[in-house]
Amino acid sequence: MMKKTLAAALTLSFLSAPAVADTPVRVLSQILPTAKQYPNEAAAIEALKADGFKVQYNNYDGLGLSTADGLRLVSDNAFNIASVQIGTAARDDAFFEGLDLIGVSTDMQSLKMAVDAYREVFDARLQARFGATVLALWPFGPQVFYCNAEVNSLDDLANLKVRSFTPSMSALLESLGASPVTLNFGEVYPALQRGVADCGVTSPTSGNSGKWPEVTTHQIPLSVSGSVQGIFANLDWWNGLSDDERASVKSAYSKLEAAQWALADTINDDALACNTGQDSCQDGEKFSMTMVSVTDADITRVQQAAAEVVLPDWVARCESTYPGCTEVWNETVGATRGISAAAK
């Protein structure tokens, strides 16, 4: 009887043990603890730990690293898993920006459709050229304008210096007569404060948590993109994991992706209310920015710029390193959005 009881206990212990035995994983994140997205990422890390991974969790800022180096850091396996800004990675390969081109998918529903349509070809390109694979793709939310100058429409951006973080955003800004200033998120607050930039573009929530309203006065709540982020794994490291380990990592980051999309859908309206000091503000810090009304003319101008400037500019850059990429885009994102890209 004792032998049967002991055998049963050992079997139960074996079945309940983590499938991963202290496998080390080096993770690099761009999310700061003050960000609304941080709890979702923390939950993914805790899930990995619970499954037995020995996680070394680091942040770009804490290590003094630039997010512009994210793709290289995961490609070189300096980190096994890294958070990468897609717009920044597009400077290494224009094809990546195809999932979130400025002016193409300006609300979260259409952006989700575009990302889902592009995911497979995006991952294939990432694996073939950079030795990494996609674990998650998610947006910060609608990218809107913060300005420290009086603006009443997109026309007023002419001759202003505006923060950009993707090549296609720079193309849009130039078409509006503005001067793009390429800055990482952490560089924007002091740039706005010192006059290096007159305006910045980010999500309402990121701007609020980053205290941009302290150094800006006018908010144009016109979304031009979603600022999609990628969480990538080094392909050699990934292929070296067991099936159980890969399943564990996939589960953690699939849940993170779903949670971040849900967050992007729900929190940005409140952030806009907080930025402009409305009584309905609940979760952010209250400021006193002036809300600029978005006109039909502003929306039309972004749509025209996307068709006449952004897409042709992207086609030229993408085809130079990936001949045939326009056809791939038209069959995926283009088909989903009802848009066709072509050279000028």
The pLDDT tens digits for 100-114 are 999 999 999 999 999
Tell me the residue type at 178.
A
CA dihedral sign, ordered 180, 181, 184, 188? negative
Do 298 and 192 fall within a single domain? yes
Determine the pLDDT at residue 191. 96
Out of 10-14, 82-86, 192-196, 329-333, which region has the weakest mean confidence (pLDDT)?
A: 10-14
pLDDT higher than threshold 80 for residue 195: yes
Please, which pLDDT band fits residue 238 given cuts at 50, 70 and 90? very high
Please, which pLDDT band fits residue 344 given cuts at 50, 70 and 90? confident
* Residue 159 maps to a domain: yes
* Residue 91 maps to a domain: yes
Do 232 and 93 fall within a single domain? yes
* Residue 253 maps to a domain: yes
Q: What percent of the chain lies above the pLDDT cut of 70?
A: 94
**Mean pLDDT value across residues 132-151:** 97
Do 184 and 296 fall within a single domain? yes
* Residue 26 maps to a domain: yes
Total number of domains in the chain: 2
Please, which pLDDT band fits residue 8 given cuts at 50, 70 and 90? very low
Do 118 and 251 fall within a single domain? yes
* Residue 11 maps to a domain: no
pLDDT higher than threshold 90 for residue 225: yes
Determine the pLDDT at residue 88. 87
Determine the pLDDT at residue 20. 61
* Residue 6 maps to a domain: no
Q: Kindly report the average pLDDT of the chain as a whole number.
A: 92
Determine the pLDDT at residue 233. 98
Do 160 and 116 fall within a single domain? no
Which residue from 150, 167, 184 is spatially nearest to 32, judged by alpha carbons?
184
Do 129 and 191 fall within a single domain? no
Determine the pLDDT at residue 249. 98
Do 134 and 168 fall within a single domain? no
pLDDT higher than threshold 60 for residue 204: yes
Q: What percent of the chain lies above the pLDDT cut of 90?
A: 88
pLDDT higher than threshold 80 for residue 167: yes
Domain that holds residue 277: 144-225+268-321
Determine the pLDDT at residue 91. 86
Do 203 and 314 fall within a single domain? yes
pLDDT higher than threshold 50 for residue 136: yes
Q: Which CATH number does the domain housing residue 153 bear?
A: 3.40.190.170
Do 273 and 173 fall within a single domain? yes
Please, which pLDDT band fits residue 21 given cuts at 50, 70 and 90? low
Out of 19-23, 230-234, 248-252, which region has the weakest mean confidence (pLDDT)?
A: 19-23
Do 75 and 128 fall within a single domain? yes
How many residues would you count in the chain? 344
Determine the pLDDT at residue 219. 97
* Residue 336 maps to a domain: no
Do 234 and 272 fall within a single domain? no
* Residue 51 maps to a domain: yes
Do 54 and 114 fall within a single domain? yes
C-alpha distances out from residue 313 to 131, 153, 306, 319, Å: 27, 24, 10, 10
